[in-house]
Structure 1
C-alpha cells in the first residue's frame, strides 16, 4: 500500500473527516480572531483612552504598546490561517504557536477588557486543540 493510498484512506475515515473539518474550522477561527486582534490593535493605537485600567497591574503596558502587540499577533494569525487553508503542514504548527502567544497576550490583557480577552482565550484554546488533533492524525 503506497503512502498516497494510506493518506487517502485516512482522509476518508471518520477520524480523518472530523480532523479535517476541525482543521478548517480552526483555520477559520484563527483568521477571525486575527481580524479581531487587528481591529483591537488599531483601536488601541488610534485612541489611547479606549481601554481603561482599573488599578495597578503587574503586566501593565502603555495602551499603544498593547495595540501594537494585538496588531502584530492578528496579522500573523491571518497569514497563518491562509497558510492552513492552502494546506501547508508548517502552518499547522505555526497556528498552534500563534494561538498560544495570542492566549498569553490576552491573559495579560484581561484587566483592560475582560470580556474580549475571555472570548479570544476560549477561541485560542479551541484552535490549539483542533490543530493538535490534526497534527496527531497526520502521523
Structure 2
C-alpha cells in the first residue's frame, strides 16, 4: 500500500541533484548579501563624494571619472540593491530578476572601480557573482 501524492511540490524528503535546500538557501543568503553590499555601496559612495583620502587618485586610467561621479554611481546602485534585497526577502517575483540586473551592474561598477580600491573591488565582485548564482537557481524561497 504505497501512498502517492499528486502535489508536484512535495518530494519524499530526498535531496536530489537539483540543488534542493541549498539553492533555496542560496536565494535567502543572496538577498542578505545584496542588502549588506548595498549598504556598504552607499557608504563607499558617500566616502567618495566627501572626497575622503581613503581612495587613491589614479592618473591615466582608461575608465577614469571624477571621484564624486563614482561616489554617486555607488550610492545609486547601493540604494537600489537595498530595495531589491528587501524585495527578495519578501519573496517578490520582480525582485529576483531585478537582483540579477543590479548585481550585474554592481559587478561592472566594481570592475571599473578596481584602481581606486583593488582589494575591496575584488571582494565585492565575488559577492556579486554569488548573488547572481543564488538568484538564478531554480528554487523559489516559498518552495522550501
Aligned length: 132
**What corresponds to 2:139 in structure 1?**
137
Structure 1 stretches of 5 or more lacking a match? Answer: none
| TM-score, normalised by the number of residues in structure 1 | 0.87
1:46-85 matches, within 5 Å, as 46-47=50-51, 49-85=53-89
**What corresponds to 1:88 in structure 2?**
92
CA positional deviation for 1:48? 5.2
Q: 1:16 aligns with which of 11, 20, 41?
A: 20
**Is this contact kept in 2: 1:48–1:64, CA < 8 A?**
no
After superposition, the C-alpha distances for 1:68-101 in whole angstroms (9 at most, x for unaligned) are 0000000000000000000101101000000000
**What corresponds to 2:131 in structure 1?**
127
CA positional deviation for 1:51? 1.5
Larger Rg: 2
After superposition, the C-alpha distances for 1:29-71 in whole angstroms (9 at most, x for unaligned) are 1111101100000111112543223331111000000000000
> CA separation in 2, counterparts of 1:114 and 1:6?
47
**Is this contact kept in 1: 2:24–2:139, CA < 8 A?**
no
Greater displacement, 98-107 / 45-54: 45-54
Specify which structure has the higher proportion of helix: 1
Structure 2 stretches of 5 or more lacking a match? Answer: none
CA positional deviation for 1:17? 1.6
> CA separation in 2, counterparts of 1:118 and 1:130?
19
**Is this contact kept in 2: 1:23–1:130, CA < 8 A?**
yes
**What corresponds to 1:6 in structure 2?**
8
| TM-score, normalised by the number of residues in structure 2 | 0.84
Partner SS for 1:37 = helix
